[in-house]
Structure 1
Amino acid sequence: MQYWFFFIIGRALGLRYDPMTYFVIVPPAIYLTIIPISMAGWGVREGVLVGLFSLIGADKPTVLVMSIIYGFTLIIISLPGLIIYLKGRHRVI
């Protein structure tokens, strides 16, 4: 389902590809972010997305910005959970 976020961000940045393109390209990129060679997949996701989208002729800087916006969006939507976690009581057994 994450390809919809990429589709919306891509449309906002001017990438005029249909949802099926994102459905095919985004899942392998997200899957490859679990390889433990970077912090939370940063760099891997961008590299894979730029590489795969460049195969269909997409503008590389635009795809890079799309991936970075996606990453920052994940950080922003995770902040409420961090605040709840930090305010919670932590007990060490």
Structure 2
Amino acid sequence: RFERNYWKYRNHAKAYRAVTLDAGHVSQALYAAATVQGLGAFVTAAINEAEAGRAFGLRPMAEGALAICGLGWRKAEKTTAELDPGGHVWPLPG
């Protein structure tokens, strides 16, 4: 909700920066929560903003989609590159 942040930051350019930082914090919290539950998570900004806006009934210039986040069960075996630095899901090589 861009309008709310522009009001909060008194129409300063930092308002948009705050929105993007908040989106980053939310996505990192999703990653952390998914990891604790043994789930895989993703976030992508490769979205069609206009289509997302229509789907969610967002008002252009006042509200908008910055990214899409999701989570789900991991496969039993690793078939694609995925972050698992502690080797908790798939054993580390060697």
TM-score, normalising length from structure 2? 0.31
**Structure ranking higher in helix proportion:** 1
TM-score, normalising length from structure 1? 0.31
